[in-house]
Chain A
Amino acid sequence: MDVKRIPIRNVDETELTRISREGMLSLNLAEMKAIQSYFIQQGREPTDVEIETIAQTWSEHCVHKTFKSRIEYAENGGTVEVIDGLFNSYIRRATEEIGKDWCVSVFVDNAGIVEFDDEYNIAFKVETHNHPSAIEPYGGAGTGVGGVIRDSLGTGLGAKPILNTDVFCFGPLDLAYNQLPTGSLHPRRVFKGVVAGVRDYGNRMGIPTANGAILFDSRFTGNPLVFCGNVGLISKNRCAKSVHPGDLILAVGGRTGRDGIHGATFSSLELDDASENLGSVVQIGNPIMEKKIVDVLMEARDRGLFRSITDCGAGGFSSAVGEMGKDTGAEVHLENVRLKYEGLAPWEIWLSEAQERMVLALPPENLEAMMELCDAELVEATVLGEFTDSRKLRVSYGGNLAAELDMHFLHEGLPTLTKKAVWEMPCFPEPPDRTVVTGKNGVLDGSNVPDFTQDLCAILGSPNVASKEWVIRQYDHEVQGGVVLKPLVGVENDGPSDACVVTPVLGSHKGVIVANGINPKYSDIDPYHSAAAAIDEALRNVIAVGGKLESTALLDNFSWGNPDKPDRLGGLVRAAKACYDIATAYGTPFISGKDSLYNEYRDTTTGKQLAIPSTLLISACCVIPDVKRAITMDAKSPGNLIYVLGKTYRELGASHYYDIHGFVGNSVPIVRPEEGKATMVALSRAVEERLIYSCHDCSEGGIGVAAAEMAFSGGFGMELNLAYAPRDAEVIGDDVLLFAESNSRFILEVSHENRAAFEERMEGVPFGCIGSTIEQPEFVVKGIGGETVIQTQIYQLKEAWQSTFRDGG
């Protein structure tokens, strides 16, 4: 197998486009022309290794060009606003303006780093592995977990992985087979495969998986979303890395094969039924290999053997070496790479995304010690070449030069794009008034007073809300001995925890809260409010277990449709604006983020183009000084008072209540950050003073679902009266109070004894005492007018919530 030349200096635009498309390079014409003029300047034709290297380095996946591009944006046909890069204008700017001194490293390394205690910092990274999981759910999801663990391992001089978090979006499990787009896997197959892949990789790595979420929408059928996150623990003096000319380039771990070729550029293409023929784009995972690497690298790190480290992710060696040697230069001899089998072309060796490989910059004097360490644990390590001071990336194969690229051109030569974005506010049909909606469900009783018991059960059993215990129990959420707030809580260990808390240093009570917020349904109405609500929800989950805004950091993960389509990009602009507005209002900085674009599926039979709902996952982490002050969501004892904190607005748009009745509506919940911040700050203080027995965030299904979950998780009944819940003047219906998903609200359990102290702390915050917990298993809710609107037993509510996925759905 030899290096090939690809003549591009004397070809026209049509030919350039053809070369990109047929080579699966995902480069647009402007980019191809930039490459063409570089090689005209060099006075030679590029090699296949060079073209592929540039395509990987410039891929959406590696360089996030949409987030860096200049955008001409117009809202509702109005004037054009020019945005100089979404990332710089909204994400990075928010973090800079918030200016938290506990942010150690943001946006530069493989994960964001924040301070933990005097000795350690915390690294946190979340990534997507959507396209691979669509084609091969088990392998795609498993290597998603493996990849994000290597991000922790490749942060600073290597963080020890201490926690996994996973969020999935799938098509409906009961989808009729004749509704399945041509060539796509059934959601049930994707669901089971993804869960098994995450389970087998995470469990075998000995990392607790203690936080996550699973959501369903028919538009995720052809293009499911798989978000994998990892938290790492890293010594304070191991957070900085550097590369010196003369350092050896050492590859550690698995061998290189033809698996995972073109993964980076593949993720910049839309999917269709031909995508499954691209089998080699999905990598093959081996968690035990990765565990061996962790063991060896942690030891090598502690002995100070290497100077820099990164993982081989998208783009394989081409990205890892190209990135590490950016400011120096690098020389690589591809024949040194250990292969799984013979027959790989030089460019394939260079690009392969074969898993479980790390690249180190190693001072030559430490080579012997490093090799001895690797040999003792049967981990393969190979010197590929060295870092130089040439500012060039030189790659040779069997003595022949395969690539020689200026680092400057490789990293800075990408032409800045200008993209067009538009946003038109959609208008969905409003449902008829409350009586008609509930009447449709046949639950009006004789006296014309609506009974919402069935609605509550229907929402509890709806796939997004229902218990995911079947999944959660397949993950080891106890390993490493430090998970003190578990994903399932309550008297029977089966209630839905708002967030998890881990103590990564055994014997210390210092902990980390990890939570998430996501609500793609809202983005149908407005991605701005969907993003705002995702941030609010992630923060609510943190606050609900005892965290504080002032020590909370956020991660953003955008999964969007094709950004070359102005309407999709318009939604992305809206979401990015919300990220800036809400994060700065709450004072919670972004420390890391990622975007996965081109999440669309083309059904070649119907010709229909299916874009996913625009989805922003917000992950949050919060360092807390004393985990003993953390609280859980399960009701603790009978006779305590139940409070609603935060105001309910007439916001049923895109709610689960509308959803079960077949409507979307338009009144999407909006975030009022001044109100939200005051509420969360007051609540954090009350939790710290131990005035709160239990606390649950109000999200999907509103007050009704949150109160029901608290009651059945604790094994106690509740008597509630909606008239006492704080509400906006426009709220007149009991269903709005029960099911509106207004932001920044919590349900709390407070003892009579603490009543006065608690209410004093809540001054200036809307709150209301809506009832109390009772010994009997009755769940009774009175409406604003005093009639009973829900009357049932907690066992019935729990059964509705648990039955949906009891045996895997």
Chain B
Amino acid sequence: MRRGWRRTLLVALLAVSRAVAGAAAAPFTVEEVAPGIWVHRGAVADFAPDNRGDIANLAFVVGTRGVLVVDAGGSAAVGRDWVAAVRGVTDRPIRWLVLTHVHPDHVFGAGTVVAAGARVIVGHARLARAFAERGPVYAASMERLLGPEVFAGSEVPAPTRTVAPGERLRLDLGDRTVEIRGWPVAHTDTDLTVLDQATGTLLAGDLVFLDRLPVVDGSLLGWLRVLDELARLPATRVVPGHGPAVAPWPAALAAERRYLRDLHDAVRGLVREGVSLAEAPARIPPPSGWRLVDPDHGRNVTAAYAELEWEE
């Protein structure tokens, strides 16, 4: 009797946990974070078959002339869900796709978004070159990490409109204008941001991380400089590349800035002291308050070390 009850509970728990697991993976949700601005929140996780590369935040902006899509997800499979999510909100045409930088979790769904109508692909002036250099390596590792079925058909068309560092490109969406800005080397050497002027919403790509530890793949010094400028943008909220769908601006910048500054100061100290590159990662304790710290923190220390050696 008791045994039977237990088994029933176990079955029920299994059913619930399956339902929960299904709920986490299956529906591809979007939320409206400001009038006409919708965000899909990627998992704060590393690439894995169960997330299909859906680990970055994606956004779209609805204007009377059409829809501007910002980033495309890490695989064609995510790209298809992303297009369907746009279609679930509006039947205005998808006209523009902005790729905020070269990283695979943001770009490999691009072919799908373009196939859905995006004629204008906006990317940083260095994006094509960066992707030419890194694309084959990225594609091989994504296929391995996500599985060939999920990754099949993932493509990244070249930008049709490029934005140079310091350049501002205004796009007229009809009832609203967005300003796309190119940045010097920071998180990567291909960073763009999108500012929706009507709502004061900054779509920051990976220049802003929340929750997930920032990854330095461009220049630590450059990123710190860019943050100073970024903080002055006239926005009241930000959609970060990773973390929550939306956060207050510029307060959302504080944690990232603190991490990058601490990293800079600690690594500079070790370089000055003559502590070797091999010893450096263990000498700088992992920061608290971030997720996915290992091994990205150690990698950041290594990258920062090689960069800051030139400064001493």
Interaction A to B: no
- The interface of chain A, by Cβ under 8 A from chain B, is none
